[in-house]
Structure 1
């Protein structure tokens, strides 16, 4: 199961479920000792009965007298939001994207100050509020494009595209010279469209998100969202994506890319190992799968946004917080999960995984986005809600695709003008 980034208006209903809950921990039998049973909620339905069982056994051996029980949840975001509203959501869980930063203290135990926890772990600002950190990332992701090297080679492409125009030209070669679908949107499943927003650091500016919350025209010519959303629009407009986006399927797409029926998809680096496995299943090899930086350079250099995946947090309702915290630290430091999944280590001194060797060869520089200033931690979420432009969701990009394929009125210029006005109005109203 893939990590699914879902936020903004796409999940406002789930957020509403959380808003009415009371804060504070329940009466606890927590002794402060690492012992007893904990329940861990996970979205990894695919490996909960295999890999995760091995993790539990290792943890229980390291901490005699403990027991780890897992609950795998397929519809993680919506189902966990419902459970949180009832107050029954395990001891350790992946912090849902529906939880705003201001809600973190309501549902999760503080792990330490951002400054202190940041001495050990990366990405701690992503699940922090008022100087306190509430989660530790399972793994980190770089952002780029996963692709089938054999298809690109068969089309005669030897160099990485460095501009959106070059990328479109390469997709055209794939369309003309191979039987592969040049680009697959995964429109129907929706959540893969959110992956386009993850590439904010391609500009080489770590302050891109902080500039966004004061911008009155994020879709103006040359701005990050104009570059990325413009490329998605042009891919569809030029007939370089699947013929009928309403029939796409995520699970099938992995097999299609692995086998060479699909050439490329914009996805986080978490997808690489899944595509490699699909390639092997289809009779190919892991080496058939490559990972390229987004086709955009600044002064001849590629940049890739790096950020944490889902964060493990401790429920305020947990009655065994000591064991829950021990599990979080053990999982991040000892389990090997990040490396096995091809992700960046959540540890400050962690190594870059081998699956990102393509980025190393291309000289890609990794950038973590600068966190929002104190007092403005929730401003982007507020603007998203007010504007109803779900930057990390799928609704507005689905409309973008509909316009590009002629299923909705308008064109790129008119839609970007509409988005700019909605965003500017929202900035004024919540600023």
Structure 2
């Protein structure tokens, strides 16, 4: 199983917090899952729902549970891996049976978290200890902790780029395009791969809002922007780069034939050079390199090609948030699992991801970011509700692939229209939607 769910979850956080909530058997609000003062005294059997079917099937989660039991010896942890996680859990949340610990489905509106999940404590106390608490903060209480975080950027084959004569990260969109042209001219690799057919990879651009301007509040500012695609804006720069890449024939010949799973082997073997994805993808591409008998160290990760005051910036977004069901009969054990998994399991480092605990070290896969002074910014979600409302009313879908698929089709000439006109139309729809939703 690939990590598509990770990418989608991280990106949907931009737009899904006001999605239609589950309805049905919601419990009274206000219950809390307090942290245990004596882990050895906590007991009970808990069920953890997870979308990571791969880690359950290969025994990895069982190993984590064994380590957890060193600290919580009287707690039995059972895992329930769900392939169609979003679809099935959304339905189950109409009942009281949705596990003791679960990843919060994107269909649950943020305002409804207190009806389904137990509070983990005050935002004031937890925000200093953990990243991304703003995503589950309702009225000053936190209802979930991210399993890991994800940085935006480009996965690339360093050996291919070096063969093309490019060893330093491009600092501007034009330098990036020049690098892709060098790859095309000097190697046999496809410079850039859109993963167009699988659709969801195209949403990676949205995760980078703020990386161009080096502004953690960039997504929030969309709530008051009349022209998000104006020249020089984050969305303008991000989407223009994609358009230019395709228009200048630096991507695969036929994007309708791309394949996500196949792309891992292609980049690992140096048959394609670059893909825009989150940092979660690095470990997958390195694993593919091992399988192909290639050097995993050839797989690198570069920041978006833009700098502010001479420095790169990368936006951090959370993966699924782990929460305690308000119906759990063993909330102390469930909370114990979340605390241990977030702070002690080493899961983030093992997955090559950014740890939720602020005290956690960055994974080895992101050491180049650390060594080169890339500024990591935690995306603000303070105005997500307003942004989501505007986006929905405008029917654009910032975290959906459709509008970028149209952009790619325009760039390759199978759909009419200019980029300038397209941006103008997006701005018009956004501006009108902002007026419609004002005060709602």
Does residue 289 in structure 1 map to residue 296 in structure 2?
no
d(CA) in 2 for partners of 1:352, 1:34 = 31
Match of 2:97 in 1: 88
Shift of 1:361: 3.1
Give CA-to-partner distance per residue, 1:57-112, whole Å, 9 cap, x none: 22234222321111122232233223324443211111223333222223222211
Residues 254-269 of structure 1 mapped to structure 2, 5 A cutoff:
254-269=264-279
Shift of 1:8: 6.4
d(CA) in 2 for partners of 1:25, 1:321 = 15
Shift of 1:10: 12
Does residue 385 in structure 1 map to residue 388 in structure 2?
no
Match of 2:80 in 1: 71
Q: Which moved more, 1:389-398 or 1:76-85?
A: 76-85
Structure 1: gaps (5+ residues): none
Does residue 152 in structure 1 map to residue 161 in structure 2?
yes
The match for 2:324 among 301, 314, 319 is: 314
Question: Secondary structure in 1 aligned to 2:7?
Answer: coil
> Structure 1's 429 and 87: CA in aligned 2 closer, same or farther, altered over 3 A?
farther
Does residue 59 in structure 1 map to residue 65 in structure 2?
no
Does residue 47 in structure 1 map to residue 50 in structure 2?
no
Question: Secondary structure in 2 aligned to 1:57?
Answer: helix
d(CA) in 1 for partners of 2:15, 2:361 = 34
Counterpart contact for 2:14–2:384, Cα < 8 Å: no
Per the normalisation by structure 1, the TM-score is: 0.92
Question: Secondary structure in 2 aligned to 1:4?
Answer: helix
Shift of 1:128: 1.7
d(CA) in 1 for partners of 2:13, 2:65 = 36
Counterpart contact for 1:8–1:389, Cα < 8 Å: no
Does residue 173 in structure 1 map to residue 182 in structure 2?
yes
Query: RMSD of the alignment, in Å?
Result: 2.4
Counterpart contact for 1:8–1:385, Cα < 8 Å: no
> Structure 1's 408 and 103: CA in aligned 2 closer, same or farther, altered over 3 A?
farther
> Structure 1's 281 and 387: CA in aligned 2 closer, same or farther, altered over 3 A?
same
Give CA-to-partner distance per residue, 1:207-260, whole Å, 9 cap, x none: 212211110100011011000011111111111112222222211111111111
Does residue 188 in structure 1 map to residue 197 in structure 2?
yes
Report the number of matched residues. Answer: 424
Match of 2:141 in 1: 132
Does residue 429 in structure 1 map to residue 439 in structure 2?
no
Counterpart contact for 1:174–1:180, Cα < 8 Å: yes
Structure 2: gaps (5+ residues): none
Match of 1:410 in 2: 417
d(CA) in 1 for partners of 2:50, 2:420 = 42
Per the normalisation by structure 2, the TM-score is: 0.90
Match of 2:252 in 1: 242
Question: Secondary structure in 2 aligned to 1:48?
Answer: helix
d(CA) in 1 for partners of 2:331, 2:346 = 23
The match for 1:101 among 85, 93, 110 is: 110
Shift of 1:15: 4.6
d(CA) in 1 for partners of 2:330, 2:101 = 10
d(CA) in 2 for partners of 1:10, 1:331 = 24
d(CA) in 2 for partners of 1:106, 1:19 = 10
Shift of 1:151: 0.7
d(CA) in 2 for partners of 1:48, 1:25 = 32
> Structure 1's 70 and 195: CA in aligned 2 closer, same or farther, altered over 3 A?
same
Question: Secondary structure in 2 aligned to 1:46?
Answer: helix
Shift of 1:115: 0.8
Shift of 1:407: 2.6
Counterpart contact for 1:83–1:89, Cα < 8 Å: yes
d(CA) in 2 for partners of 1:394, 1:403 = 14
Counterpart contact for 1:9–1:390, Cα < 8 Å: no
> Structure 1's 380 and 10: CA in aligned 2 closer, same or farther, altered over 3 A?
closer
Give CA-to-partner distance per residue, 1:268-313, whole Å, 9 cap, x none: 1111111111111111112111111100011211111123222111
> Structure 1's 8 and 358: CA in aligned 2 closer, same or farther, altered over 3 A?
closer
Give CA-to-partner distance per residue, 1:309-364, whole Å, 9 cap, x none: 22111122322222111110010111110111111221122212221122123321
The match for 2:24 among 21, 25, 36 is: 21
d(CA) in 2 for partners of 1:386, 1:146 = 33
Counterpart contact for 2:220–2:384, Cα < 8 Å: no
Counterpart contact for 1:383–1:427, Cα < 8 Å: yes
